[in-house]
Amino acid sequence: MIISVVSGKGGAGKTTIATSLAHILGADYYDLDVDAPNGEHYLQPLIDETRSSFVNHPVVDNSICNGCGSCTQECRFNALYKIREQIYLNDHLCHSCNLCREVCPVGAISYKQVVIGEVRSGISSRTGAQVVIGDLEIGSTRGTALIQDIARQLDKSDMAILDGPPGNSCAAVAAIKPADLVILVIEPTPFGIHDMLQALNILRDLNKPLIAIANKSLGDEELKTVLAAEQLELATSIPLRSDYHKHLIQGEILSRADAKVFRQLVQAVQSGSNTG
């Protein structure tokens, strides 16, 4: 079973919940928050394998290119542009879709592999399960591609927790797509509720069953009202407490440090096991 843990906004405590679930379920953990992966701070894996992740970038052979501009006209992401008779690439916009090579009438475009990040893996010293970490190259905008690379390695027969990126971008969608169940972590504040509603739209478009969990809560009445209007219930709520923050700062898995959180998350997952 694949469980994706996501949040509409950053700072909601998604990794707190994801690492706790990995601990509770003894599940493999995939850190797909590739811009700022920090799950290893809690799970403490013994890394024994590291590999690079690549994407293809177009290369224009100017000795062949006739400057017709077909590639720039067809590029859906405006990654190619023409100055006089020369074609240039903005690699931050390129999605490696291969369309430019297909439409070039003179065969002037080929592809080269470019490193976008690395994937580290090892066994957690705390759970005994596999930990896989995606780490995007500094300055790269290809987080979605790195997440997709890791997701292709998933085995649906395994129990795995995917710690997705925050927000509601293409990268978040890439972390949601493989999931059998999605856990939506919500900070019960005006900003958190606003971004949660955007995340709900994505989850419904993808037809994903979900569990809603409040985190860092100082009160859930407004959140419960909004969820009720969406025909959803709050599975559990973890309060904002200074001792919880101390555990996290010290690198402790919250479910391992606090028996109440352990029980709350077990009950939440059990309540959602029949969802959908």
Q: What is the pLDDT along the chain (276 residues), one digit of tens a residue?
A: 999 999 988 899 999 999 999 999 999 999 999 999 999 999 999 999 999 999 999 999 989 999 999 999 999 999 999 998 899 999 888 888 899 999 999 999 999 999 999 999 999 999 999 999 999 999 888 999 999 999 998 988 889 999 999 989 899 999 999 999 999 999 999 999 999 999 999 999 999 999 999 999 999 999 999 999 999 999 999 999 999 999 999 999 999 999 999 999 999 998 766 554
Buried b or exposed e, range 235-254, using 16+ CB within 10 angstroms: bbbbeeeeebeebbeeebbb
- Shared domain check, 87 and 13: no
Say how many domains are in the chain: 2
- Shared domain check, 97 and 8: no
| DSSP line for 221-269 | HHHHHHHHHTT--EEEEEE--HHHHHHHHTT--HHHH-HHHHHHHHHHH
Number of residues that make up the chain:
276
pLDDT at 274: 54
Q: Which residues pair with 161 in a beta bridge?
A: 3, 29
- Shared domain check, 239 and 201: yes
This prediction has a pTM of: 0.90
Residue 86, domain extent: 62-107
**Is 40 a domain residue?**
yes
- Shared domain check, 94 and 181: no
- Shared domain check, 47 and 157: yes
Work out the end-to-end distance of the chain between its first and last CA atoms, rounded to an integer number of angstroms.
14
CA–CA distance, 19 with 252 (Å, rounded to integer): 10
- Shared domain check, 202 and 137: yes
Q: For position 203, which CATH number holds?
A: 3.40.50.300
- Shared domain check, 128 and 30: yes
pLDDT at 156: 83
- Shared domain check, 182 and 80: no
- Shared domain check, 97 and 219: no
Q: For position 86, which CATH number holds?
A: 3.30.70.20
Tokens of 72: 């720039």
Cβ neighbours for 85, distance < 8 A, ≥ 6 positions apart:
65, 66, 67
- Shared domain check, 128 and 233: yes
- Shared domain check, 70 and 20: no
**Is 253 a domain residue?**
yes
pLDDT at 139: 85
CA–CA distance, 93 with 79 (Å, rounded to integer): 5
**Is 221 a domain residue?**
yes
223 contacts 190 by C-beta, under 8 angstroms:
no
Kind plus residue range of the DSSP H or E element containing 86: strand 86-89
**Is 125 a domain residue?**
yes
pLDDT at 273: 61
Q: Which residues pair with 109 in a beta bridge?
A: 60
**Is 112 a domain residue?**
no
Strands (E), 175-272: 181-186, 210-217, 234-239
**Is 16 a domain residue?**
yes
Kindly give the pairing relationship between strand 109-124 and strand 45-60.
antiparallel
- Shared domain check, 152 and 181: yes
pLDDT at 276: 46
Q: Which of 41, 62, 11, 14 is nearest to 175 (CA)?
A: 14
**Is 197 a domain residue?**
yes
31 contacts 122 by C-beta, under 8 angstroms:
no
**Is 17 a domain residue?**
yes
Cα atoms in the 13 Å half-sphere on the side-chain side of 270: 7
